[in-house]
Amino acid sequence: MSELETPHAGDDHSRDDDVVALLMRQHGDIRNLFDEVEATSGEERRDAFRRLVRLLAVHETAEEEVVHPFVRRSVAGGQEIVEDRLKEEREAKEMLATLDDMDPDGPDFLPKLIELRRDVQTHARAEERYEFIHIRRSTDVTDLAAMAKAIKAAEAMAPTRPHPGVESGAKNMALGPVAALMDRTKDTVRKAMGGS
């Protein structure tokens, strides 16, 4: 086990109904997982990278279902804001797919990972600045509670900690299944939001 302990997204139980706090914590978890991938090697790195891919997939899918639609309908200039974020998310997913095909211990992996990390951080900052701030100001309590519930439901699908002794399990999480994970996340989020 790495001495780097990535806190689990569910560790902080005090702010479960605050959708912005939940999303900000996930941004923090993503940052920590990047640290963990960078600091490790071999099987440990593979495992940390799989958890990073999973959390990114679940987090971005949940945002696409919950955050962006809210901003589109409730914020002046929301269309443009959301288009910019979706473009960043698409680019990140492509880079993630490239990384997934690479040998995590090969010489090109880390530079590419650092590139992705920089883009993901820029993207997260833009969300916090142009989207989350509007969610915080929203007074529709029912809407906020539904969004928080959906983010929590999605979060449960992406463990941030390693599972001791299940190294082979990491192999089952290649990007093919990640596409399926995104579909499942979409279903989970829609159900939690009260849709069909």
Nearest CB to Fe ion, comparing residues 50 and 59: 59
Residue that has been written with the tokens 């900052």 in this structure: 125
Nearer to Fe ion, 29 or 127 (CB): 127
Residue (60 or 65) nearer to Fe ion, CB: 60
Q: Left, alpha or beta for 77 (phi > 0: left; psi -120 to 50: alpha)? A: left
Alpha carbons 45 and 51: distance in angstroms, whole number: 10
Query: What is the closest distance, in whole angstroms, from the C-beta atom of residue 172 to Fe ion in the complex?
Result: 25
To the nearest whole angstrom, how small is the minimum distance from the Cβ of residue 166 to Fe ion?
A: 28
Q: Which residues bind Fe ion (CB under 5 A)?
A: 60, 63, 127
- How far is 192 from 196, CA to CA, in rounded Å? 9
Q: Cβ of residue 67: shortest distance to Fe ion, in angstroms?
A: 7
By beta-carbon distance, which residue lies closest to Fe ion?
63
Q: 47 or 63, CB closer to Fe ion?
A: 63
DSSP per position, 131-158: IIHHHHH---HHHHHHHHHHHHHHHTT-
